[in-house]
Each structure stands twice: as structure tokens, then as C-alpha cells.
Amino acid sequence: MQIRAGERLRLTMSGAGNRIIVSLNTFAVTEPAVEGLDPSRDGFTYDVTSWLRPGQNILTVVLIGSTAMPPFRLVAERAGRSLLLLDETEFLPAATPWRLWATTIELSSTIRPA
């Protein structure tokens, strides 16, 4: 996924409860999972633009335990357009107690060659 400097990146998550950890670079996005907060704080949009740095950024999702209802969904949006959709129902079943998913987000520089 690629965005240009000056564009805003928003992550919208639902179904996180307290069994999902989402991070961008080293910043935790899912407070309920990280801090043990009430899972009713689920289903939120977070502007993560300030956490991006020029070049490659790593978006990581760790799903702990089996699929729950509602299933976890993450949408990455730029200017109201969806760049990425991660839907837990599309994952293959796994015998492990957790699943890891990661992708890169490329932030292009504002400097243009002369």
C-alpha cells in the first residue's frame, strides 16, 4: 500500500474485542487488547498519519484465539477510499492459538527530483 506525504491514513477496526493487537511501526492501535480495557470500546476509527515516517512502515495484526463473533475487520482508508481490507472470515483455519498478519505502507517523500 502506498500513500503520498500530506495524505491522511485512517484505520477502522471492528470485532477487535480484547483478542486482537494491531500496531503501526511500534505504536499500539488497539487499546482494548493492549490495556485490558472494556471490549465494548470496539469499533473505532483512528487517524494514524502522525505515526507514519518516510519510507516503509509496518502494519501488524495479531489475532489471539479462535474466530469470534463479530469477526475482526480492519479497513485502511486514504481520503475516504479503501486501500486495504482485512477480514478475519477470509483467513484459513489454523491449529495455532494465534495468527499473525503484516503488510507494509510506503510513505513517499515530499521531495521531488529537479
What does the pLDDT read at residue 66? 76
- CB-facing half-sphere around the CA of 9: CA atoms within 13 A: 22
Evaluate whether residue 12 is within a structural domain.
yes
Evaluate whether residue 113 is within a structural domain.
no
Evaluate whether residue 32 is within a structural domain.
yes
Evaluate whether residue 112 is within a structural domain.
no
Evaluate whether residue 13 is within a structural domain.
yes
Query: Whole-prediction pTM value?
Result: 0.76
Evaluate whether residue 36 is within a structural domain.
yes
Q: How many domains does the chain have?
A: 1
pLDDT digits (tens, 9 = 90+) for 61-92: 888 887 777 888 899 999 889 999 999 888 87
Q: Which residue has the higher pLDDT, 68 or 47?
A: 47
* Domain of residue 50, residue span: 2-107
Q: Torsion angle, CA of 89/62/30/18, rounded to 10 degrees?
A: 70
